[in-house]
Amino acid sequence: MRAPTAPDRSMATPELFASLTDDVVASGSVTVTVPTPSTGEPLHELPHSSADDVGEAVARARLAQLAWARAGFAERRRILLRAHDRLLDRNALLLDLVQLESGKTRGQAVEEVFEAASVTRYNALAARRVLRGRSRRAGVPLAVTTRVRYRAKGVVGVITPWNYALSLAAMDVVPALAAGCAVVQKADDQGALSILALRRAFIEAGVPEAAWAVVTGSGTVVGEALTDRVDYICFTGSTATGRAIAEKAGRRLVGASLELGGKNAMIVLDDVDPVQAAADAAYGCFSAMGQLCVSMERIYVHRRIAAPFTRALVEHLGAARLGSSLEYTSDFGSLATAAQLERVEEHLDDALANGATVLVGGRPRPDVGPWFFEPTVLTGVTSEMRVHAEETFGAIASLYLVDSDEEAILAANASEYGLNASVLTRSPRRARRAAEALEAGSVNINEGYRGSFSSVDAPMGGVKASGLGRRNGPEGLLRFVDPVTVSTSTGLLRLPRTAREFSALAGPFVLLARVLRAIRRR
Question: So which residues are the catalytic ones?
Answer: 259, 293
| Binding segment toward ligand NAD, per CB under 6 A, in 55-63, 157-165, 301-309, 487-495 | 157-165
Residue 58 falls in which region: left (phi positive, over 0), alpha (psi -120 to 50) or beta? alpha
Of residues 237, 323, 418, 476, which one binds ligand NAD by CB under 6 A?
Answer: 237
**Residues from 291 through 320 that contact ligand NAD (CB under 6 A):** 293
Q: How many CA atoms lie within 13 A of 236 on its CB side?
A: 27
Q: What's the closest the beta carbon of residue 467 comes to ligand NAD, in angstroms?
A: 6
Of residues 103, 208, 219, 476, which one binds ligand NAD by CB under 6 A?
Answer: 219
Of residues 13, 33, 220, 276, which one binds ligand NAD by CB under 6 A?
Answer: 220
Should residue 259 be labelled a site residue for ligand NAD when binding is judged by CB under 6 A?
A: yes
Residue 111 falls in which region: left (phi positive, over 0), alpha (psi -120 to 50) or beta? alpha
Among the listed residues 484, 433, 438, 439, the one whose alpha carbon sits nearest the alpha carbon of residue 465: 439
Should residue 167 be labelled a site residue for ligand NAD when binding is judged by CB under 6 A?
A: no
Should residue 262 be labelled a site residue for ligand NAD when binding is judged by CB under 6 A?
A: yes
Of residues 238, 379, 413, 427, which one binds ligand NAD by CB under 6 A?
Answer: 238
Q: Which residue number, 359 or 477, has a Cβ lying nearer to ligand NAD?
A: 477
% helix, strand, coil for the chain, step of 5 = 45, 20, 30
Q: What's the closest the beta carbon of residue 67 comes to ligand NAD, in angstroms?
A: 28
Should residue 391 be labelled a site residue for ligand NAD when binding is judged by CB under 6 A?
A: yes
Should residue 449 be labelled a site residue for ligand NAD when binding is judged by CB under 6 A?
A: no
Which stretch of DSSP H or E encloses residue 507?
helix 499-518
| Binding segment toward ligand NAD, per CB under 6 A, in 78-86, 147-155, 234-242, 487-495 | 234-242
Of residues 23, 112, 224, 297, which one binds ligand NAD by CB under 6 A?
Answer: 224
Of residues 188, 270, 331, 439, which one binds ligand NAD by CB under 6 A?
Answer: 188
Q: What's at 182, amino acid-wise?
A: A
* Count, residues near ligand NAD per rule CB under 6 A: 29
CA 470-471-476 angle, to 5 degrees, is 95
Q: What's the closest the beta carbon of residue 93 comes to ligand NAD, in angstroms?
A: 23
Should residue 244 be labelled a site residue for ligand NAD when binding is judged by CB under 6 A?
A: yes
| Binding segment toward ligand NAD, per CB under 6 A, in 71-79, 81-89, 253-261, 324-332 | 253-261
Should residue 157 be labelled a site residue for ligand NAD when binding is judged by CB under 6 A?
A: no
Helix (H/G/I), strand (E/B), else coil: 522: coil
CA 427-429-434 angle, to 5 degrees, is 100
Of residues 65, 236, 295, 376, which one binds ligand NAD by CB under 6 A?
Answer: 236
Q: What's the closest the beta carbon of residue 386 comes to ligand NAD, in angstroms?
A: 14
Give the per-residue SS3 of 27-88. Answer: CCCCEEEEECCCCCCEEEEEECCCHHHHHHHHHHHHHHHHHHHHCHHHHHHHHHHHHHHHHH
Should residue 459 be labelled a site residue for ligand NAD when binding is judged by CB under 6 A?
A: no
Q: How many CA atoms lie within 13 A of 360 on its CB side?
A: 20
Q: Which residue number, 255 or 462, has a Cβ lying nearer to ligand NAD?
A: 462
Under 8 Å between Cβ of 151 and 484 = yes
Buried b (16+ CB within 10 A) or exposed e, 287-316: bbbbbbbbbbbbbbbbeebbeebbebbbeb
Q: What's the closest the beta carbon of residue 166 comes to ligand NAD, in angstroms?
A: 12
Under 8 Å between Cβ of 33 and 352 = no
Q: Which residue number, 183 or 326, has a Cβ lying nearer to ligand NAD?
A: 183
Should residue 7 be labelled a site residue for ligand NAD when binding is judged by CB under 6 A?
A: no
Should residue 441 be labelled a site residue for ligand NAD when binding is judged by CB under 6 A?
A: no
Most distant pair of Cα atoms in the chain: their distance = 91
Residues that bind ligand NAD (CB under 6 A): 159, 161-164, 168, 186, 188, 219-220, 223-224, 227, 236-238, 241, 244-245, 259-262, 293, 391, 393, 419, 462, 467
